[in-house]
Amino acid sequence: MTRSLQDQDGIPQPSAKERFAHALTLVPEIATVETRIRSTFKSDVALMREIPEYLLSLGGKRIRPILALLCSKALGAAETTDDIVDIAAGIELIHMATLMHDDIIDQSPIRRHQPSAYAKYGTPGTLLSGDFLLTRAFGLCSRLEREIIEATEQACIELVEGETLEIAVPLGEHTTESSLTIATRKTASLFRLAAFCGASLTDSSDTVKEQMSKFGESLGIAFQIIDDILDVTSDEATLGKRPGIDIAERKPSLINILWIASGDPAAQRLLLPSDPLTEQAFVEESLAKLRASSVLLEAKKAARHHADIATQNLAQALGGDLASLTPEGEALFAVIDFALERVL
Amino acid sequence: MTRSLQDQDGIPQPSAKERFAHALTLVPEIATVETRIRSTFKSDVALMREIPEYLLSLGGKRIRPILALLCSKALGAAETTDDIVDIAAGIELIHMATLMHDDIIDQSPIRRHQPSAYAKYGTPGTLLSGDFLLTRAFGLCSRLEREIIEATEQACIELVEGETLEIAVPLGEHTTESSLTIATRKTASLFRLAAFCGASLTDSSDTVKEQMSKFGESLGIAFQIIDDILDVTSDEATLGKRPGIDIAERKPSLINILWIASGDPAAQRLLLPSDPLTEQAFVEESLAKLRASSVLLEAKKAARHHADIATQNLAQALGGDLASLTPEGEALFAVIDFALERVL
């Protein structure tokens, strides 16, 4: 149930990619958000400016602040206020802090084609920079309304809980349900927060806030599943890092869980201690097997399912009349479709 | 210029230790603070309750919340409000988060006679628990007044900056001044915050808030110098970890900086790469040398200097009339004297 399918009437439709590119033109304020983010990198300690600046310079889709901006506009915000810029910047700062801490936890050498902050600056500086950014994020958010502060705290707690579940529970004890719980907490929590804040700052009703939150959360779950799929189907040039990392790290990704559940004997090796001598061959064989397997189809089906829930909730939040959408409303549907198009 | 010296009039004075023990009886609310701290360890992810609970169970002086409570009472708070309990708990949570992250950075195996959280639970769980506690601390503080939120953000930023300076600048480039800057930021920032919040929540004048902040900061600097001294003069039974850690880790502690500056050729080895084969002997020889050296006297003089500044500012904040101090005012002087008595 993607919007692009609904719209088919014989006239060629723009691709999701084209529609996403158009969506970006509707939020030129993303440059203001980036300036706001950078304005928090102030310190007389050089490393506290340098490490965050390095991570920011690696780029990224900035999908979370884009969501916050688009949601507030789609719900009728007449102008982009300081408040929405603050929370959009705050959410991206939290995301950056978790990238730094994640890279320490996963000992990841590469991020976006470049050495990760962890690889370039080491554990101490990267860990402290993450704390610095988390503090700055709270500094920005604390100026806002009570319900936004509480939602931010809640999202950060869920994020940390999701990452803890990922590392604390052995792969063999995970189920598709627990894998989706991790995706919901570690990834979807900030998507939900971004969409919720867009609704909160436009004084939307509790029902619309709830629908927008559900839209953000479902989109976030779909995004995580799509990331898991791309780790199998994509290549280093596109990913900015080697594929197969979820296999090498025995992550409880939906793909790994579905693969183990499929009964394929090769997947059982994910549950055994890794053997450095044959590990690289195992990852490559696994990728080849998975690319030709029904596991991929199942994961795509799950991504589409959560994207559909996102679509339904977005439609409800925007009033249900899809014929008279604002450009920003259209753009939010384009974000969902673009996410899906990357793997479908 | 300690209070105990001023009071000498031939009648035996209680020791600083006895006066400190009495001070603790004036803040029974510390039990409420501990309950408030524990109330934030709520999560359906077992490890997010277990690791913070483990660190809390290792004990500690709880000097920061005690300071916040005593300062508010000494400035006339009629009752211990929810707000002061929240900020006292929040400050201790921030302290706990930094202990977790510090132990990862320093790879410290032992804290308070027990395995550190890092040694017991590993980097991922300990890192995420630190993020969890930092988030909970901001959750508590965000309910309070604007100036308290801003002071909390500022203290956290300074804390992270101080730790970054400690790891980022080679020991040979440090001076006594930069060593004191580190102590001011990494240790004194939370002491200052605790004292400031006590003044802020009793609607004290800006002058009194400033004097209380200066008292807290100077006490914090003295505390850090005293910690550095105890790392040389104390033993494992008292410290809860092996002495000489600042030597082994080539920390820019005041002791190490003064020792290098003293011209003792043995100290120059601190500037060379460590040799694992002879390292333990070097630490032990260094401790023996330092214990008999004038470096210790210089460091004690510096601790006393900052304790004196703390005493002066506290006296001013409490109105200057030391003859009519409240028991809580007396108790704050006892905290300073007790800190000093540990090394003098």
ipTM of the modeled complex: 0.95
**Residue A260 domain flag:** yes
pTM as predicted: 0.95
Residue of chain B whose alpha carbon sits nearest to that of A43: B161
pLDDT score recorded for residue A4: 45
* Residue B110, φ and ψ in degrees, nearest 5: -130, 140
- Residue B2, in any domain of the structure: no
Residues of chain B neighbouring A125 (CB-CB closer than 8 A): 164, 167-168
In angstroms, the Cα distances linking A333 to A4, A75, A327 are 9, 14, 10
Rounded to a whole number of angstroms, the distance from the CA of B128 to the nearest CA of chain A is 6
Domain presence at residue A7:
no
Chain B interface mutation, best of A148, A157, A190, highest count of B Cβ atoms under 10 Å: A157
Q: Range of B262's domain? A: 9-341
Task: Classify A164 as helix, strand or coil.
Answer: helix
Find the Cα–Cα–Cα–Cα dihedral A102, A105, A109, A111, rounded to 10°: -10
A154 to chain B, closest Cα gap in Å = 9
Residue B5, pLDDT score: 41
Q: How many Å apart are CA B105 and CA A124, to the nearest integer?
A: 5
CA distance to partner chain A, nearest, from residue B87 (Å): 15
Asked whether residue B65 is assigned to any structural domain, the reply reads: yes
Q: Is B136 in Cβ contact with A101 (below 8 Å)?
A: no
Q: If DSSP codes are grouped into helix, strand and coil, which group holds residue B131? A: helix
Contact between A134 and B139 using a beta-carbon 8 Å cutoff: no
Instruction: Please judge whether A125 and B47 are an interchain contact, meaning their C-beta atoms are less than 8 angstroms apart.
Output: no
- pLDDT at residue A220, rounded to an integer: 98
pLDDT of amino acid B9: 62
Which residues in chain A have Cβ-Cβ distances shorter than 8 Å to B161? 43-45, 48, 132
* Residue B156 touches chain A, beta carbons under 8 Å: yes
Q: Which residues of B touch A186 (CB under 8 A)?
A: none
B249 touches chain A (CB under 8 A): no
Give B156's contacts in chain A (Cβ within 8 Å). 131, 135
Cβ–Cβ gap A123/B104 under 8 Å: yes
Return d(Cα B30, Cα B33) in angstroms, integer.
5
Inter-chain contact B128–A104, Cβ cutoff 8 Å? Answer: no
Helix or strand or coil: residue B252? Answer: coil
Q: Given A48, A153, A167, which is nearest B161 (Cβ)?
A: A48
- In this complex, the residue of A128, A138, A165 whose CB is nearest that of residue B160 is A128
Query: pLDDT at position A10, please?
Result: 67
Q: Which of residues 6-25 of A touch B (CB under 8 A)?
A: none
Structural domain includes residue B4: no
Residue A2: inside a domain, yes or no? no
| A&B contacts, CB < 8 Å | 114
Q: Split chain A (344 residues) into runs of 10 and give each run's mean pLDDT.
A: 51 86 94 98 97 96 96 95 97 98 95 95 98 97 95 98 96 97 98 98 97 98 97 92 94 98 94 90 96 96 98 96 91 94 78
In this structure, is residue B241 part of a structural domain?
A: yes
Residue B271 sits at the chain A interface (C-beta within 8 Å): no
CATH of the domain at B80: 1.10.600.10
Mean pLDDT, chain B, integer = 94
Give, as one character, the DSSP assignment of residue A240: S
Set of chain A residues whose Cβ sits within 8 Å of the Cβ of B170: none
Determine the Cα–Cα distance for residues B48 and A165; give it in Å rounded to an integer. 10
Classify residue A197: in a domain, yes or no.
Answer: yes
A101 touches chain B (CB under 8 A): yes
Q: Does residue A124 sit at the B interface (CB-CB below 8 Å)?
A: yes
Q: Does A102 touch chain B (CB under 8 A)?
A: no
Q: DSSP secondary structure string, B272-335?
A: SPP-HHHHHHHHHHHHHHHHTSHHHHHHHHHHHHHHHHHHHHHHHHTTS-GGG--HHHHHHHHH
Looking at residue B6, its pLDDT comes to 46
Is residue B127 less than 8 Å (CB to CB) from chain A? yes
What is the predicted pLDDT for the residue at B322?
Answer: 85
CA A54 to chain centre: 20
Q: Which residue of A has its CA nearest to B124?
A: A105
Are residues A167 and B124, on separate chains, in Cβ contact within 8 Å? yes
**Mean pLDDT (10-residue bins), chain B, 344 residues:** 51 86 94 98 97 96 96 95 97 98 95 95 98 97 95 98 96 97 98 98 97 98 97 92 94 98 94 90 96 96 98 96 91 94 78
CA-nearest residue to A100 within chain B is: B127
Cβ-based contacts of A44 with chain B (< 8 Å): 161
Cβ contacts of A97 on chain B, cutoff 8 Å: 131
Residue of A nearest to B100 (CA): A127
- Nearest chain A residue to B104 by CA distance is A124
What pLDDT does B4 receive?
Answer: 45
Number of domains in chain B: 1
- Amino acid identity of A322? L
Closest Cβ opposite residue B124 in set A97, A105, A153: A105
